[in-house]
Amino acid sequence: MTAIPLNTPVARTSRFSARNIGRAITVLPIAFLVFDTAIKFSHVDAVAQSLNQLGLPVNLAAAVGILELVCLVIYLIPSTAVLGAVLLTGYLGGAISLHVRVANPLFSHILFPTYVAALLWGGLYLREPRLRALLPVRK
């Protein structure tokens, strides 16, 4: 095995590397989830109406907010991001089931958590080389 000489030119990486694009993609679902968590701790009437419509007691808003916040923090820590994505996927799956149960509109309510999860996983895939190695995209 031969060593690579120290003066070998290194290929320049683009400013738009997969990691940076992944970070940019991740901003949108994180912003939504932070907002969603925050309003669960506020005593806004719209949150109470939404929970009532979904069949959840209003007094569970803070507990659901804490659960969402814990999953979000786990996702934001780089070493536990994959676990966080799995936990948030489960959380969002629960949201889907609630919307299905009350027969909310498909694209705006039932599938919205799917859009958020897709952005979470897409951003993580682009910024985490170990995940890309585990799930390679074939050309």
Q: Which domain holds residue 90?
A: 20-129
Q: Is residue 1 part of a domain?
A: no
Q: Is residue 72 part of a domain?
A: yes
N- to C-terminal Cα distance for the chain?
30
What is residue 137's predicted lDDT score, i.e. its pLDDT? Answer: 81
What is residue 11's predicted lDDT score, i.e. its pLDDT? Answer: 47
pLDDT band at 43 (very low <50, low <70, confident <90, very high): confident
pLDDT band at 33 (very low <50, low <70, confident <90, very high): very high
Q: Are 26 and 119 in contact (CB under 8 A)?
A: yes
Q: Is residue 24 part of a domain?
A: yes
Number of domains in the chain: 1
Q: Which residues are CB-contacts of 77 (< 8 A; sequence separation ≥ 6)?
A: 84
| CA neighbor of 37 nearest in space, from 101, 88, 86 | 88
Query: Out of 28-37, 75-84, 119-128, 130-139, which region has the weakest mean confidence (pLDDT)?
Result: 130-139
Q: Is residue 66 part of a domain?
A: yes
What would the two tokens of residue 29 be? 């679902």
Q: Is residue 116 part of a domain?
A: yes
CA–CA distance, 83 with 100 (Å, rounded to integer): 26
pLDDT band at 31 (very low <50, low <70, confident <90, very high): very high
pLDDT band at 4 (very low <50, low <70, confident <90, very high): low
Q: What is the pLDDT of residues 80-110, one digit of tens each?
A: 999 999 999 999 999 999 999 999 999 999 9
